[in-house]
Amino acid sequence: MTKYSDTAKKRGRPRNERRHDEIIAVATELFMSHGLHATTMEHIARQLGVSKLTLYSRFENKDALFAAVIQNKCQEYIPDSFFGDFDKYPLEESLYKIAYGLINLIISDDARNIERLLMAEANKNKNLILTFYKTGPARVKGMIAGHLERLHKKKKLYVPDPVYSTHVFGALIKGSDICFRLMMNIPPKPTKEEIQKYCQQAVHSFIKMHAHE
């Protein structure tokens, strides 16, 4: 087990990224299995075989570690680079890619488990809910709004208020019967083909709503 001394840090020794990934992986597993309240930093450190000091050198507290878990999951499904090349795609294809990535994030077991954990903490930890919103939904919505703003400037769509239109786009996905059924555990589980077809129809409706007259 590698431990980092204060001297090593002062010399500018780079952080072990593998260790960071291990912490996130173990924390994710424990949070999902035992819940946020029952999982402690000591519990996570013991599972990793490191000291609590090692954890606190990277994460200020458990909420910060949980926020990192959320960010990691959001990046896994919709990385920052996800929006990097969208300007090269035709209008409908770029929006379809966003819709498909977004709906798969929302219906994933990871996202549903995180939402379950947050609802359990809603009345006890308002700051954690806010952290989740900033790290997850607000970040993704910001990137979608940026893409819509560029489409408006290029006159591919009429989007005078990109933030409002992002809310509309998100509602088309989050409010789908696919998402509702999965949230309520109502069978049958949607197929890949059903998800693809819905995303195509949602994008078609969105473009129609924002077409230049």
Confidence (pLDDT) at 12: 38
- Answer yes or no: is 53 within a domain: yes
Q: How many domains does the chain have?
A: 2
| Domain CATH code at residue 30 | 1.10.10.60
201 and 157 assigned to the same domain: yes
Which has more confidence, 125 or 203?
203
100 and 187 assigned to the same domain: yes
96 and 186 assigned to the same domain: yes
CB under 8 A, 24+ apart: contacts of 134-139:
135/67, 135/70, 135/71, 135/74, 136/70, 136/71, 136/73, 136/74, 139/74
Alpha helices in the chain (DSSP H): 6-10, 17-34, 41-48, 52-56, 62-77, 91-106, 109-121, 126-135, 137-153, 162-174, 177-183, 192-209
Q: Tell me which amino acid residue 204 is.
A: H
Q: Is residue 2 over pLDDT 60? A: no
CA gap 58, 22 in Å, rounded: 12
For residue 15, give its domain range: 6-59
| Domain CATH code at residue 186 | 1.10.357.10
Question: Average pLDDT in the 93-118 region?
Answer: 88
Confidence (pLDDT) at 213: 67
Q: Is residue 7 over pLDDT 70? A: no
27 and 110 assigned to the same domain: no
Confidence (pLDDT) at 192: 95
- Answer yes or no: is 1 within a domain: no
Evaluate whether 47 touches 23 at the Cβ level (below 8 Å): no
- Answer yes or no: is 150 within a domain: yes
CB under 8 A, 24+ apart: contacts of 57-62:
57/4, 57/9, 58/15, 58/20, 58/23, 59/23, 62/36
Q: Is residue 64 over pLDDT 60? A: yes
- Answer yes or no: is 87 within a domain: yes
- Answer yes or no: is 71 within a domain: no
106 and 172 assigned to the same domain: yes
186 and 108 assigned to the same domain: yes
Q: Is residue 96 over pLDDT 90? A: yes
124 and 162 assigned to the same domain: yes
83 and 170 assigned to the same domain: yes
132 and 194 assigned to the same domain: yes
- Answer yes or no: is 113 within a domain: yes
- Answer yes or no: is 69 within a domain: no
Whole-model pTM: value is 0.79
DSSP letter for 206, please.
Answer: H
138 and 53 assigned to the same domain: no
CA gap 156, 200 in Å, rounded: 18
12 and 90 assigned to the same domain: no
